[in-house]
Homo-oligomer: A and B are copies of this chain.
Amino acid sequence: MKAAELAKSLGTTADTVRYYTRLGLLKPAKSVNGYKSYSNKEVSRLKFILSARNLGFSVADIKEIINESEDGKSACPLVRSLIKERLEETEKQFQAMLALRGKMSSALSRWEEMEDKAPTANMVCHLIENFEQIKKA
């Protein structure tokens, strides 16, 4: 099985397959022609990686998880602790995006009623430069 076939069978790209292979998450055999040859084991391995990515784990997390399981240990405790961390990060980013979205949207609606101004020596764009101040007023 070639990289592109594996990729297509799981709905991802050959570049992604090659990336995981470069990192050592997939370990294909070298086929005769020098191409990498992926077996059924790689299919389920990739399926696992994609599921984990989908749940918010980083590739580094996944590497750690796989290493643990390859040592014969249960990865479950690690998995639980990692997702706790990732969820906290996600929550922070989520709040940040929420705030940003509000700011952007309020800027957009305010700016639609404001006139254009030419730049001056100390002003690039009055829309941006006055935004925070106006807000306070």
Question: Once the chains are docked, how many angstroms separate the CA of A83 from the CA of B47?
Answer: 38
A52: shortest Cβ distance to chain B, in Å? Answer: 5
Residues on B with beta carbons closer than 8 Å to the beta carbon of A108 = 80, 83-84, 87
Encoded as 1 (CB less than 8 Å from any B CB) or 0, chain A from 58 to 80 comes to 00000001100110111111011
Partner of A83, one of B79, B107, B126: B107
A79 to B75, CA, bound (A): 49
- Enumerate 24 A-B pairs (CB-CB under 8 Å) in ascending A order: A41-B121, A44-B122, A45-B124, A48-B128, A51-B129, A55-B107, A55-B128, A56-B100, A57-B128, A65-B124, A66-B124, A73-B119, A74-B116, A79-B128, A80-B112, A83-B104, A83-B107, A83-B108, A84-B108, A86-B104, A87-B101, A90-B100, A90-B104, A97-B97
